[in-house]
Every structure is written in structure tokens, then in C-alpha cells.
């Protein structure tokens, strides 16, 4: 792309947000960032990637952590801050990319041109998807969806002023069950291209 654009994707668990983000990045020919950010951080800080994954996108435990003189002993908070810093550096370098989660709907404020997208889904579609992906029954799938979404909301709302999942926090909210994964990718890609044409005065 001739000018920078960052596509921030937030998603409900089971909505297919990861697959949509990855396919969207391929379609737009830009990088896709998700947990692969942890590999970069692990290499820089010489730590095990699996250790970082244990605390990735999770809210800080207020009962087991504290901050003294600006330094936190919370692994969840420290890993989040490292990811925010890395992403801000990529944005400052004027890279274009698709980023999944990681408070990306807010951390680039004043740095880059960002389109903020929230992907949701009706419960039946999400349950079916989780059952197929993880080999669960319907009851287990519902509990898994509720648990993951609760953690995502807590993580996001701890670091951000905006509220996770509220329509006013995003430029586009879409139910992936209406068009399917590929249809949702195409719809978002068209939305991005239309935005770029308007932005660039074409």
C-alpha cells in the first residue's frame, strides 16, 4: 500500500476473528500480527516463547501483583506493555498491517491511521465453530466462549479507555455468521479499499 493503514481487529471467541484477520492480511498483502509478536519479544529478551504465551492477552491479577515506582511485578502487564511498545515502533516505522487484539483499537492514537473493526457472531454459530475446532460438546463450548470473552473484556478495559465490544468504540462491527469467513473477509477488504480511496482523494 502506498500510504500506511493499520487494521485493528477485536473479536468474540468463536467468531473466527483469527482466521478472518489472517486471510484479510493476505488479501491486502500486508503483515498479520497476533501471537507471532511474542516470538519477536522472546528473541529480544532471550526468554521462552511458551512462557510468554501463558500470560498473553490476560488481565493483571490485582491480588498477586503490585506496581512500585512505575514497575510492575505482574507478568501479564509486563508482556502486554512489551507488545504495545513493539507495535508502536512498527506503526512509527509507517508499516501497514493487520493486528489482532492487544488493545490495538486504542494504542496507536496519534501515531497512525487505524481502522477499528469488531467481529462478533450469534451464539449458535460460535458454539458450533468451537465444538468443531476443539472437539467439545455444546455445554463445554458455551462455557469456553463465556470464559474467553470475559478475559478479553477484562484485559482490554484495564488498558483502554474505550469499552470492549461497544459499537461506539469501532469503525465497523460485523457478524461473521451472516457472510461466513470468506464473505466477511471480502466485505472488510472492500470497506478498507473504499476508506483508502476516500482518504487519499481518489
pLDDT of residue 55: 75
Rounded to whole angstroms, the Cα distance separating 77 from 158 reads 10
pLDDT of residue 70: 46
pLDDT, one tens digit per residue, over 67-125 is: 434 445 677 888 888 889 999 999 999 999 999 999 999 999 888 899 999 999 999 99
pLDDT of residue 68: 36
pLDDT of residue 202: 66
Q: Which parts of the chain register pLDDT below 50? A: 63-71
Rounded to whole angstroms, the Cα distance separating 142 from 134 reads 12
pLDDT of residue 60: 64
Residue-level length of the chain: 202
pLDDT of residue 35: 87
pLDDT of residue 45: 72
Please report where in the chains the cell 468504540 appears, as a residue: 169
pLDDT of residue 73: 61
pLDDT of residue 58: 73
Strand partners, 7: 98, 115
Amino acid at each position: 500500500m502506498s500510504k500506511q493503514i493499520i487494521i485493528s481487529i477485536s473479536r468474540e471467541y468463536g467468531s473466527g476473528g483469527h482466521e478472518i484477520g489472517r486471510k484479510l492480511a493476505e488479501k491486502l498483502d500486508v503483515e498479520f500480527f497476533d501471537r507471532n509478536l511474542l516470538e519477536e519479544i522472546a528473541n529480544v529478551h532471550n526468554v521462552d516463547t511458551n512462557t510468554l504465551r501463558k500470560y498473553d492477552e490476560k488481565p493483571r491479577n490485582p491480588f498477586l501483583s503490585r506496581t512500585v515506582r512505575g514497575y510492575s511485578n505482574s507478568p501479564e502487564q509486563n508482556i502486554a506493555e512489551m507488545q504495545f511498545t513493539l507495535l508502536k515502533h512498527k506503526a512509527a516505522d509507517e508499516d501497514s498491517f493487520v493486528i489482532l487484539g492487544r488493545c490495538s483499537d486504542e494504542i496507536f492514537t496519534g501515531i497512525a491511521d487505524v481502522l477499528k473493526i469488531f467481529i462478533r457472531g450469534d451464539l449458535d454459530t460460535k458454539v458450533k465453530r468451537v465444538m468443531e475446532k476443539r472437539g467439545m460438546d455444546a455445554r463445554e463450548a458455551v462455557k469456553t466462549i463465556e470464559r474467553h470473552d470475559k478475559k478479553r473484556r477484562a484485559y482490554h478495559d484495564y488498558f483502554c479507555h474505550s469499552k470492549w465490544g461497544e459499537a461506539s468504540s469501532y469503525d465497523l462491527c460485523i457478524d461473521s455468521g451472516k457472510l461466513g469467513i470468506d464473505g466477511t473477509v471480502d466485505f472488510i477488504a472492500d470497506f478498507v479499499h473504499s476508506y483508502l480511496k476516500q482518504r487519499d482523494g481518489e
